[in-house]
Structure 1
Amino acid sequence: MVIAAGRDGAPAAVPLPLFGKACAAALLVGVCVIVFAPQLLPRGLGVVGVCVGLLMGCWPSRWRWLGAALLGVGCACLHGHAALARQLPATAAAVDHVLQGRVISLPDHGARSSRFLFHVDDDAALPVEVRGRVFAMGWHAQAGSGEDPRRRVQAGARWRLHARLRPPRGLRNPGGFDAERHALLQGVAGSGQVREPVRARLLAPASGMPAWRERMAAAIAVQVMGGGARFVQALALGDTRALTQADWDDLRALGLTHLIAISGFHVGLVAGFAAWLAGCAWRVWPPLGRYWPRPLGMAVAAVSGAALYAAVAGFALPTVRTVLMIAVLAAARCSRRRVTVGQALALAALAVLLVDPLAVLAPGFWLSFAGVLWLVWCLPGRDPRWLRTFLAAQGVATLALLPLTVALFGQASRAGPLVNLLAIPWWSLVVVPLALLGTALEALVEGAGRWPWQLAAWCFEGSWWLLGYAARSPLALWWLPQARDAALLAAVLGVAWLLLPRGSGGRLPAALLCLPLLWPAQQRPADGEVELLVMDVGQGMAIWVRTRTHRLLYDTGPAAVGGFDAGERIVVPTLHALGEGRLDRLVLSHGDRDHAGGVAAVRRGFPRTLLLAPQGALPGIDAPCHAGQSWRWDGVDFQFLHPRPGTSYQGNESSCVLRIATAQGAILLAGDIGARSEAQLLQAPSTLRAALVVVPHHGSDGSSSAPWVAAVAPRLAIVSAGHGNRFRHPRPAVVARWQDAGAEVLGTADSGALRAWLGREGLHVREQRVFQPRWWDAAERARSAAILSAVKQAADGPEG
């Protein structure tokens, strides 16, 4: 802003080009149009958008907001291309490299593997495709005795590693975590796996801020007694490695995940405390005012404190955004400009969006800005009754942010509004200051932080013990089905209507606007129809089947000891996103971990579900599955074709083969059977005919024999396999065999989750990656590159 004289001689605020609230809103709209589009505009159009936007924005006219929107379009386009250019090409195969660089994150050492971020040196001797880039590295433990070298990996250390690198690639399921978007936000170029660990070499010991953070985390673990140490590490250093999945489940149920680790809210508290300390210094020693005005000193102290705290957190994205917002407000303060809260919010949004337009992909961006915006709109004045203001703010934040919370996370905490009344003041004003005091003292004198840290742990454990009862209540967490994008806009309008001043009327219509998000319509199959979803779980299998009033889960996906659990990370969240609150039956084809690894998590999420599996496959089954078992749900027949009753368990060959028959055709789920079991089933070939088949054993050479394929003769064959898996499933010969039989072959590796409907209108299928395209989607970019390459080769001709 600039200052001009008003009619009464008082200074009047005149907005500079592109710095008004309307321009900030227009810039946000322009950024969102590009970032949430299925395809990214060409880089040249992005340059044009930036140039035209700057010219229109700086030109004094009523169309300045349009210039801001074009500037947002151009900036988002250029940042998107730059982010993709930092990643390995989507078509790149897994290649081994010798890397030299620095560990820049706190390494997470599990029982069987370690994970950390590795920044490769910008060295001309290294390959250009990896030089100066960041990779998410994994280092698996080696079998045998002796020292495990991965345990020596420390934050801030420099290593030479032999690693196999891959471009970012994630799993795609309804309502699931988007790993490729996360890699884009984190600036990660790809994933890597350390190979030949004996050749790994430590080049330089740990140093710098990452090493200091790891030393502080280790000191907390050693000096603090009890289980509260892990939460002190999170609140003081942003180190959440020690938090278990049960801890995160409880925090989500209580709506308190925003208070754990170093959040933007905590950065704001530290900035305010630093400004208060600076103000006290000026009051204690007034001569300071002769050299530096007190308001400027407080502003500089606030920015310095926020930046230091963000550094302690490893410059996590939420903290960086908060520091940027505080810096903008401090700059306005130092320039002695009159800035309202709304103008300050607009300036902060402009700063964040111009520096990093892709920040709109992060949930924290929307929750932080929307939360402040709602509070400014609903509580514009100052009320001397602080308790009333706090309660009103909590009520406004709970109601106003409910649509965003549901849309972003697919869940809401019923206990959150009440729990936050206790947790926010207690954790933020007691636990966090004690944790930070301990960190500051420990940084000055070794061992001095023990008692503040211990007090912080005791204070936290006292509240956590009380809150744990609420977290474990089945009514604490509210899962909601995935709704359409338009439902979010309607719900935001409905909430705004509900928060209008008293006497505005129309409360019932406002509540009705929220229903499409909170209670979305679901199209369930009619009688005699069936719906199926083959989830994208990597190298494994998990299939959800639904009739009009019943639902069944066939397999639960893979799980590794002490590592990834598809049941917990994929199957349960996907079922909730589909609106499922219960399961009628859980069928495990056999006991291998790629099919039954997630069973414990699924049974925790859906208790009292009947579990069927082959006899002897694993303990705890409710009933064995065997040929001849059958039942009927809503006009759809279910029948097991294999294994034979009384046979001993033989691993893959004992897989439960389930046939789901409708009047329009059948679906065949064959687990991991091989050619031997297929030959047994061919004794009754009439039962094998199906419209859809999930290809046995992920498309291996030992299954899908030619007679079996001919007997099934499906229209659609689905392969559940991981992208680039070490078994090279599905094998090209197997795919060709199904295609020669007239089937369209689709795989979860390229299509993501595959959803099929079999009913009166025939067989229909929907690929998740095609249904919800994203410009950062690695599979779609690889597919587009392959098409362009084929077109170019055809245009060049045989001699080209």
Structure 2
Amino acid sequence: MNAQRVPGLGLGVAAGLVLGAIACLQLPGLPPWWVMAFALAAAFAAWAVGSGRGRLVAAFVVGAMLCGLHAAHALSLRLPATMERGDFAVRGQIIGLPVHEPQRTAFLFRVASDASMPAPLRGRLLRLSWYDDRREGPDLRRYGLQAGSDWTFTARLRAPRGLRNPGWFDGEKRAMAQRVTAVGYVRSAEPVTRLEAGGGVDHWRERVATRIDAVVDRDSARYVRALAIGDTRGLGDLDWEALRATGLTHLIAISGFHVGMVGGFFALVATGAWWCLPWLGRWLPRPQAAAIVALLASTVYAAVAGWELPTVRTVLMIGVVVIARLARRHLRIADALAYAAIAVVLVDPMSVLSAGFWLSFAGVAWLVWCLPDARELSKLRGVLASQWVATIGLLPLTVILFGQASLAGPIANLVAIPWWSLVVVPLALVGMGLEAIHSGAGDWAWRSAAWAFDLSWPLFDWLAASPISLWWLPEPHWLALPLALMAAFWMLLPRGVPGKWLAALLWLPLLWPDRQLPREGEAEVVVLDVGQGLSVLIRTAHHAVIYDTGPAVPEAYDAGERVVVPALQALGVRRLDAIVVSHGDADHAGGFGAVQRRFAAPVIFAPQWDRVPGASPCLMGSAWRMDGVTFRFLHPDLYFPAFRNPSSCVLRVETAHGAALLPGDIDDLVERLLIRRNGASLEADVVIAAHHGSRSSSDRAFVRATGAAVAMMSTGHGNRFGHPHDEVVERWAQAATAVGSTAGGGATRFRLQAGGLVVTQERVRRPRLWDAARQID
């Protein structure tokens, strides 16, 4: 039977919708909503009555305008700036699974919609934290905050605001895609009341997760939770690092393949029932019954998995196939994929912001195009061919989305896909199904799943630790992606196509991008956006030094792991020649362990009183030279007492084209001491303002002595210390110095080069619709 397509739909229309949504999200701003609404209506009409290229253009406009309206609505949900850091009494329900950490619990909270709630928050989604202040004890926070439970409390809120650094992660983008109105924390000093215990699907998921932890006496219990119900809360940074290194992140949480397995299993059950009870066919034919049962089962399982995008895509594809079966139409897989993509974009066009959208649809599309006759291949050839297609086809997206490529991934996937998907996951699902029937009935299946998982994990752990595991790649030019996709397309063409080796040239901009390193005698100073803390990268032609490593809160947040290391990798830093820890405060030295674990710098400097492992003292007068650039410590001297902030390492970076001064957290007394010692040594084009612009620093005489063109404040947005202080900003401004902040412009690059000082801020360089601030404060 020939495939029958739905008029007005298909691969071309799906591509038009997706490209339109992408184009809209690249705009720095949106047209008025009424303009987008009118254009959307006109484009829908053209789509309905048009044909050929006209219909494709109409689909593009529909995707762009629909995405623009969704984006405008999402941005309008943000808490107004006038209400920032306000306290709000709210009532509502916990959404999803709370994440319990030693010192806090993080969760999503849906505010009630009634008139008693503050108008800007009615029915809105909040991302909150509840910190352990020991007054009510951790039990209420940890065990009372159950999925689906209703609460009333007071929360201190602010609009979603993320850090902006080189690299792929963007917290503000995620907040907009999730329609988060505000972020904040529960005020434990105010009354807190649980109105109702947990309920619903999420509460059942949480109960299953707790049961798995209780009955599986293995470290792999957290992986069984992820594979059974999509609960990845137990996976730490090191777990994700190992999974990325082996290319297994797509398998560890519930994927579309798992949903398909559940749907297929219940389809077989329904088929068996219809065979055993032929009279059922009088009410509903067997093929249609199997399709409907598969759709219902996959929908329930996708809900249990938390409606992640790969599961939604699979459910939509199954739904399309079911509709075709009920209408007695034959449908190609490619058409089902296109219809599913159209449905996803029409329902939520901003889903194109998620990595799951691209990996989910692109992976299936490559397989459908390259292996249309996969059933004719032997099982071994089919597995090898599909792995080759997935590796080459998804490599460009993996590099663009995550800045990395797993060289060990193809090997790991050859083992993990059949073993986990056919042994570990079915056992985990059997346990979940039995648990739904009777509590405790699935314990044996979860233990078996953990045992089977542990059999394979040593191989993946070894691969993750091997030198071929992970290849971190610098952030490429935007043209690198289309060129790499062309290269993948060329390489995956059938045998006999000439010149395939030439495709290697198209990979070069993606896999070996220009790192834009300084020339001999030049330097680049990059002040990373780490919030209320400091981390500065200094690059020369062939070397890299980092000054401070960002803040960290033990067992809760580590900027070294989550911000500094990814930013260094995105900038193409392959090794660090030295790490300077200005002093031991957590906002400067908190990320040291994570940075040193990744880069293993051979030389470490810190004040002699701070116990930084392997560090040498940063004594006044000591210096070294690299690539025509001199690094010189101006403070402290050998006899300066252990005064914490005033004892900070003061580093001066001297180039042939200017200098930069990094004073750590010194105060005005030390600044005046430096002037008395040698005021000329303080002259600099760029100064990282001491102590984040604190009122006790940036003495007027010190400001004049530097003669800086730019003073940079490394601060967190809306920080509780009020940094930078207005008086400090005014002092620098009166000295004709431009004042910038990471809170306003994100990570900032200062290029000390032959043509003069060049300043680039991340939010200005790459403006986005969702940016809360795009200019120097």
TM-score strictly above 0.5: yes
Paired position in structure 1 for 2:72: 81
Taking the TM superposition and a 5 Å limit, the aligned residue runs for 1:333-412 are: 333-381=325-373, 382-412=375-405
Q: Do residues 99 (structure 1) and 90 (structure 2) align?
A: yes
Q: Is contact 1:34-1:41 (8 Å) kept?
A: no
Q: Is contact 2:310-2:360 (8 Å) kept?
A: no
TM-fit CA distance, 1:479: 0.6
Q: Do residues 711 (structure 1) and 692 (structure 2) align?
A: no
CA distance in 2, matches of 1:577, 1:752: 15
Paired position in structure 2 for 1:438: 431
Paired position in structure 2 for 1:311: 303
TM-fit CA distance, 1:153: 1.2
TM-fit CA distance, 1:14: 5.7
CA distance in 1, matches of 2:454, 2:51: 59
Taking the TM superposition and a 5 Å limit, the aligned residue runs for 1:391-470 are: 391-470=384-463
CA distance in 1, matches of 2:78, 2:299: 28
CA distance in 1, matches of 2:84, 2:50: 52
CA distance in 2, matches of 1:430, 1:653: 60
Alignment partner of 2:119: what SS?
A: coil
Taking the TM superposition and a 5 Å limit, the aligned residue runs for 1:152-171 are: 152-171=144-163
Taking the TM superposition and a 5 Å limit, the aligned residue runs for 1:9-48 are: 13=4, 15-17=6-8, 19-48=9-38
Identity of counterpart residues, as a percentage? Answer: 50
Instruction: Name which of structure 1's ranges 346-355 and 615-624 shifts more when overlaid on structure 2.
Output: 615-624
CA distance in 2, matches of 1:719, 1:56: 52
Q: Is contact 1:328-1:351 (8 Å) kept?
A: no
CA distance in 1, matches of 2:138, 2:347: 45
Q: Is contact 2:351-2:357 (8 Å) kept?
A: yes
Q: Do residues 206 (structure 1) and 166 (structure 2) align?
A: no
Q: Is contact 2:201-2:304 (8 Å) kept?
A: yes
CA distance in 2, matches of 1:69, 1:241: 38
Paired position in structure 1 for 2:501: 508
TM-score, with structure 2 as normaliser: 0.97
Instruction: Name which of structure 1's ranges 396-405 and 302-311 shifts more when overlaid on structure 2.
Output: 302-311
| Residues 629 and 384 of structure 1: CA distance in aligned 2, closer, same or farther (over 3 Å) | closer
Instruction: Name which of structure 1's ranges 738-747 and 24-33 shifts more when overlaid on structure 2.
Output: 24-33
TM-fit CA distance, 1:268: 2.0
Paired position in structure 1 for 2:743: 749
CA distance in 1, matches of 2:245, 2:272: 41
| Uncovered stretches (5+) of structure 2, i.e. residues with no partner | none
* CA deviation map 1:104-151 (0-9, x unaligned): 121112111111111111111111100101111101111468565312
Q: Is contact 1:30-1:72 (8 Å) kept?
A: yes
Q: Do residues 595 (structure 1) and 585 (structure 2) align?
A: no
Alignment partner of 1:248: what SS?
A: helix
Paired position in structure 2 for 1:789: none
CA distance in 2, matches of 1:322, 1:735: 54
Paired position in structure 2 for 1:239: 231
Paired position in structure 2 for 1:59: 49
Q: Among 689, 692, 697, which residue is 1:695 paired with? A: 689
CA distance in 1, matches of 2:185, 2:291: 45
Q: Do residues 686 (structure 1) and 680 (structure 2) align?
A: yes
TM-fit CA distance, 1:663: 2.5
TM-fit CA distance, 1:485: 1.1
Alignment partner of 1:638: what SS?
A: strand
**Which letter maps to 1:777?**
D
Q: Is contact 1:48-1:74 (8 Å) kept?
A: no
Instruction: Name which of structure 1's ranges 722-731 and 76-85 shifts more when overlaid on structure 2.
Output: 76-85
CA distance in 2, matches of 1:476, 1:279: 44
Q: Is contact 1:166-1:190 (8 Å) kept?
A: yes
Q: Is contact 2:534-2:587 (8 Å) kept?
A: yes
Paired position in structure 1 for 2:105: 114
TM-score, with structure 1 as normaliser: 0.94
Aligned Cα root-mean-square deviation (Å): 1.7
Paired position in structure 1 for 2:613: 620
Paired position in structure 2 for 1:775: 769
| Residues 36 and 268 of structure 1: CA distance in aligned 2, closer, same or farther (over 3 Å) | farther
* CA deviation map 1:540-589 (0-9, x unaligned): 00000011111100000000011110000011111111111100010000
Alignment partner of 2:302: what SS?
A: helix
Alignment partner of 1:105: what SS?
A: strand
TM-fit CA distance, 1:319: 2.3
**Which letter maps to 2:93?**
R
Q: Is contact 2:168-2:402 (8 Å) kept?
A: no
**Which letter maps to 2:711?**
A
TM-fit CA distance, 1:315: 2.2
Alignment partner of 2:97: what SS?
A: coil
| Residues 703 and 98 of structure 1: CA distance in aligned 2, closer, same or farther (over 3 Å) | same
CA distance in 1, matches of 2:639, 2:745: 39
TM-fit CA distance, 1:384: 4.8
Alignment partner of 1:107: what SS?
A: strand
Size of the aligned set, in residue pairs, is 773
Taking the TM superposition and a 5 Å limit, the aligned residue runs for 1:626-775 are: 626-683=619-676, 684-775=678-769
* CA deviation map 1:417-444 (0-9, x unaligned): 0110110111111111111111111221
Q: Is contact 1:591-1:651 (8 Å) kept?
A: yes
Paired position in structure 2 for 1:476: 469
CA distance in 1, matches of 2:107, 2:163: 20
CA distance in 2, matches of 1:12, 1:213: 40
CA distance in 2, matches of 1:338, 1:615: 76
CA distance in 1, matches of 2:66, 2:209: 39
**Which letter maps to 2:7?**
L
CA distance in 1, matches of 2:515, 2:240: 29
Q: Among 288, 293, 318, which residue is 1:326 paired with? A: 318
Q: Among 136, 161, 175, which residue is 2:127 paired with? A: 136
**Which letter maps to 1:201?**
T
Q: Is contact 2:155-2:184 (8 Å) kept?
A: yes
Paired position in structure 2 for 1:7: none
Q: Is contact 1:142-1:148 (8 Å) kept?
A: no
| Residues 734 and 265 of structure 1: CA distance in aligned 2, closer, same or farther (over 3 Å) | same
Q: Among 258, 262, 278, which residue is 1:266 paired with? A: 258
CA distance in 2, matches of 1:499, 1:624: 56
| Residues 659 and 13 of structure 1: CA distance in aligned 2, closer, same or farther (over 3 Å) | same
**Which letter maps to 1:204?**
E
TM-fit CA distance, 1:374: 1.0
Alignment partner of 2:217: what SS?
A: coil
CA distance in 2, matches of 1:713, 1:249: 44
**Which letter maps to 1:689?**
E
CA distance in 2, matches of 1:663, 1:212: 65
**Which letter maps to 2:126?**
F
CA distance in 1, matches of 2:684, 2:83: 37
Paired position in structure 2 for 1:5: none
Q: Is contact 2:168-2:401 (8 Å) kept?
A: no
CA distance in 2, matches of 1:377, 1:79: 32
Paired position in structure 2 for 1:50: 40
Q: Do residues 488 (structure 1) and 481 (structure 2) align?
A: yes
CA distance in 1, matches of 2:382, 2:309: 30
| Uncovered stretches (5+) of structure 1, i.e. residues with no partner | 1-9, 787-800
* CA deviation map 1:352-376 (0-9, x unaligned): 1111111111111111111111111
Q: Is contact 2:132-2:138 (8 Å) kept?
A: no
CA distance in 2, matches of 1:693, 1:76: 42
Q: Is contact 1:255-1:413 (8 Å) kept?
A: yes
Q: Is contact 1:156-1:206 (8 Å) kept?
A: yes
